[in-house]
A and B are shown apart, each in its own frame.
Chain A
Amino acid sequence: MAQFISTLFNGLSLSSIILLTSIGLAVTFGLMRVINMAHGEFVMIGAYMTYVTQQIFAAVFPESVRDIYYIVSIPVAFGTAFLLGSLLERFVIQRLYGREIDSLLATWGISLILQQAARSIFGTQGVNVTAPSFLQGGVTVGGCTFSYNRIFIMFMVLLCLFIVWIIMYKSNFGKQMRAVMQNRPMAQCMGINSRKVDNITFALGSGLAGIAGCSVALLGSIDSTVGQSYIVNSFMAVVLGGVGKLAGTVLGSTIIGSASIFTENYTSSTIAKAIVLLIVIVFLQKRPQGLFVIKSRSLDE
């Protein structure tokens, strides 16, 4: 029983990490139909920002307040990724709307540039973030240990989801955003500045990737390829869930995360990867639209 609960917790934990990296992708890829190959690099930027914040705090502030660096690093990571995302949209993506293959190649190139930039700035060897003292260790209940930083990541995911939901479905901006994504010419006729909406939406997706970077920094070392290890799972989660639906991304991430952990428990990590990929392929053969489908009257869809 303890073993099962522990596995369940691990599955949920991995799901939440995948979800955190996928929410941003669900916005840029799901809503805007931009395949951003550099999304993983925004995760990397977020992770490096956490490291930079830690180093600055270690150098400037006394020992007693050093732990709050992590809290500070979250808005720093979000802000940096948001800003870079906005710039990327302004100078590259904006010129490539409706040209999926072109934007795919352009963002792939940007991903390589960002990775090399990280190597030039921070070196090829991984750097390390020390978890703040309130996130170190874990709590043991009935033979299972639940680590604080994984619990923290889960809460962070819930919070991000909630905020994205508020923005998308409850705010005025969200209304404009959905209007632009569903029917651009009509939205423009209604006086919505679609360029601005595009820019902020893309930047928001990138900023969320930055927050994901903060959380993956807690789990392992940070190097220039850290984003790459999450990007494949994130794309799978978004596609599996059904492009364009937040609920689909949540479910897709949960399925991929739990399936990985459960199969890895009974096989090896390499086989687990293959099995998860197989599940996704078989599922998409049966249901190519993914789990959730947007009902639309648009003729194009």
Chain B
Amino acid sequence: MKKVSLRKIAALAASMAMFAMTLAGCGSTASDSGASSDGTTSAAAASGDDTVKVGLLHSLTGSMAISEKAVRDAEVLAIDEINSAGGVLGKQIVYVEEDGASEPSTFATKAEKLVDSEKVATVFGCWTSSSRKAVKPVFEDYNALLWYPVQYEGMEQSPNIVYTGAAPNQQIVPAIEYLLDKGYKKFFLLGSDYVFPRTANMIITAQVQAAGGEVVGEEYADMDQTDFAAIISKIEAAQPEIIINTLNGTGNVSFFKQMAEKNYTSAEYPTMSFSIAEEEVATIGADILKGHMVSWNYYETTDTPENKAFVEAYKAKFGESRVTSDPAEAAYDAVYLWKAACEKAGSFDVDAVREAIAGGDISFNAPEGTVTINGTNQHLTKPVRIGEIRDDGLIYEVYSTPTAVDPDPYLTTYDWAVEAGIQPIE
């Protein structure tokens, strides 16, 4: 055969490989088929007089399945607890589960199915910002209600979504304040290349500069990047006092491993991470993460009686080896907050529940402490905790805000943010 045609084939091969990579990145393939109960209703399927139907919409397959499974499990735990304590307004909760398959477009289809055909009272769901943005128009068009349990980049406020994770001013801003108070001046921003790290770093840059600090470098790694040598060289050249890390997923493993191979520990280059919780520590390894800092609202070690009960119940139901984390806890709270809102409204009707929420006094004694839904922006008032990763793979609180922090998704109460004119990245 001719050389030239071989080359064409090689080009085709390379482009197919790239296509395969994107495919794999989107995680369209299924796994863990045992857990996938596509569209099945637990317990009695009929939504009779003594039951109320809710939807769970998470990725049970694909790349996000592992993360979202923890959140889904926490929601199921809360539902079971509520049912055995008598249900909501005298009705037992039954849940309809749909699989978002780590694919925003699938999330949108399944959300429509839940609210339109299944006629659920409310939906607990999503993890990634892209999936939330995909389902947002569905919930707005059908005037349904979504409970979103993960910290995110802020700059959003839909009347049909209740955000039970942290807004930027309940995770990022207090962490930077803490670092500035500790005397750190030179910041290096490292993140994966997508909306959350870019928005977070825009906020951090404005905040650091307003406080007289300096951002000595800002780098973004591809989602599937495996070699961090060049980025580590840039960090060495910039000599930062602290690295702000918003890498996601496997990028964290490569980055921390390759820092360790250059003999760098948290003593030389301390980091503050916003996407590493207990689950991630277990994968990356506590030995290379020890001493590094993270910022969340909740840790498995958080010392409240509610948390003790929560951790015990979670491990009893799903296994001793499972860890609880901030997103799982926020998902657990979401179910209880919905219950409280329904009880105040005296009905499951979405408008009545939203009206009850607008009153601003729906609260729950959560494992992280008391959380209250803000009546205007539908985010939670919650405590913020800076934690340090220790040898045992758990995260221990080193600082917490004296009182719970009110949510401010658009950062309108911070002068430096207003001055910098921070805008959502679309």
Interface string of B223-240 (1 = CB under 8 A from A): 011110111011011000
Contact B233 A3 (CB under 8 A): yes
Q: Which of B6, B14, B25 contacts A236 (CB 8 A)?
A: B14
Complex CA distance for A131 and B236, rounded to whole angstroms: 23
> Hey, which chain B residues are within 8 Å of A130, CB to CB?
285, 287
Complex CA distance for A218 and B139, rounded to whole angstroms: 45
Judged by a CB distance under 8 angstroms, whether B221 is at the interface is yes
Complex CA distance for A72 and B86, rounded to whole angstroms: 58
Judged by a CB distance under 8 angstroms, whether A140 is at the interface is yes
- Nearest residue (CB) in B for A284 is B7
> Hey, which chain A residues are within 8 Å of B2, CB to CB?
300-301
Contact B20 A123 (CB under 8 A): no
Contact B7 A112 (CB under 8 A): no
Contact B21 A221 (CB under 8 A): no
Judged by a CB distance under 8 angstroms, whether A172 is at the interface is no
> Hey, which chain B residues are within 8 Å of A243, CB to CB?
3, 6-7, 10
Complex CA distance for A131 and B94, rounded to whole angstroms: 48
> Hey, which chain A residues are within 8 Å of B13, CB to CB?
35, 37, 104, 235
Contact B226 A269 (CB under 8 A): no
> Hey, which chain A residues are within 8 Å of B226, CB to CB?
216, 219-220, 226, 229-230
Contact B250 A232 (CB under 8 A): no
Contact A269 B225 (CB under 8 A): yes
- Nearest residue (CB) in A for B261 is A147
Complex CA distance for A236 and B72, rounded to whole angstroms: 42
Which one of A5-13, A85-93, A181-189 is at the B interface? A5-13
> Please, how many residues of chain B have a CB less than 8 angstroms from a CB on the other chain?
56
Complex CA distance for A219 and B66, rounded to whole angstroms: 22
Contact B230 A264 (CB under 8 A): yes
Q: Which of B6, B24, B66, B261 contacts A136 (CB 8 A)?
A: B261
Which one of A61-69, A76-84, A114-122 is at the B interface? A114-122
Judged by a CB distance under 8 angstroms, whether A223 is at the interface is yes
> Please, how many residues of chain A have a CB less than 8 angstroms from a CB on the other chain?
73
Contact B24 A224 (CB under 8 A): yes
Contact B230 A272 (CB under 8 A): yes
Contact A225 B227 (CB under 8 A): no
- Nearest residue (CB) in B for A101 is B9
Q: Which of A119, A138, A140, A236 contacts B261 (CB 8 A)?
A: A138
Q: Which of A128, A260, A268 contacts B219 (CB 8 A)?
A: A268
Complex CA distance for A7 and B227, rounded to whole angstroms: 13
Judged by a CB distance under 8 angstroms, whether A14 is at the interface is yes
> Hey, which chain B residues are within 8 Å of A220, CB to CB?
226, 250, 253-254, 257-258
Contact A221 B9 (CB under 8 A): no
Contact A219 B227 (CB under 8 A): yes
> Hey, which chain B residues are within 8 Å of A236, CB to CB?
14
Q: Tell me the dominant secondary structure on chain B's binding face.
A: helix
Given contacts A125-B283, A140-B263, contact A119 B31 (CB under 8 A): yes
Contact B254 A100 (CB under 8 A): no
Q: Tell me the dominant secondary structure on chain A's binding face.
A: helix
> Hey, which chain B residues are within 8 Å of A213, CB to CB?
none
Complex CA distance for A10 and B225, rounded to whole angstroms: 15
Q: Which of A128, A270, A273, A288 contacts B4 (CB 8 A)?
A: A288
Judged by a CB distance under 8 angstroms, whether A124 is at the interface is yes
Judged by a CB distance under 8 angstroms, whether A33 is at the interface is yes
Judged by a CB distance under 8 angstroms, whether A176 is at the interface is no
- Give chain A interface residues in 1-39, CB to chain B under 8 Å: 3, 6-7, 10, 13-14, 17, 29, 33, 35, 37
Interface string of B1-35 (1 = CB under 8 A from A): 11110110110111011101100110101011000
User: In the complex, how many angstroms separate the beta carbon of A109 from the nearest chain B beta carbon?
Assistant: 11
Given contacts A101-B9, A116-B29, A219-B258, contact A137 B263 (CB under 8 A): yes
User: In the complex, how many angstroms separate the beta carbon of A1 from the nearest chain B beta carbon?
Assistant: 13
Judged by a CB distance under 8 angstroms, whether A169 is at the interface is no
Judged by a CB distance under 8 angstroms, whether B388 is at the interface is no
Complex CA distance for A98 and B227, rounded to whole angstroms: 36
Contact A128 B285 (CB under 8 A): yes
- Taking A111-B20, A228-B17, A239-B14 as given, write out 13 further A-B residue pairs in contact, using a Cβ cutoff of 8 Å, ordered by the A residue number: A37-B16, A115-B24, A123-B31, A128-B253, A131-B261, A140-B263, A147-B262, A148-B261, A219-B227, A219-B254, A229-B224, A269-B219, A288-B4
B interface list, Cβ under 8 A from A: 1-4, 6-7, 9-10, 12-14, 16-18, 20-21, 24-25, 27, 29, 31-32, 62-63, 65-66, 193, 219-222, 224-227, 229-231, 233-234, 236-237, 249-250, 253-254, 257-258, 260-263, 283-285, 287
The 4 closest A-B pairs by CB, nearest first: A220-B254, A221-B253, A147-B261, A10-B229
What are 19 A-to-B residue pairs whose CB atoms are below 8 Å? Answer: A10-B230, A13-B229, A14-B227, A35-B10, A104-B13, A116-B31, A123-B66, A130-B287, A137-B262, A218-B257, A219-B258, A221-B254, A221-B283, A228-B21, A228-B24, A235-B10, A239-B14, A261-B229, A269-B219
A interface list, Cβ under 8 A from B: 3, 6-7, 10, 13-14, 17, 29, 33, 35, 37, 40, 98, 100-101, 104, 108, 111-112, 115-116, 119-120, 123-128, 130-131, 136-138, 140, 145, 147-150, 216, 218-221, 223-226, 228-232, 235-236, 238-239, 243, 260-261, 264-265, 268-270, 272-273, 284, 288-289, 300-301
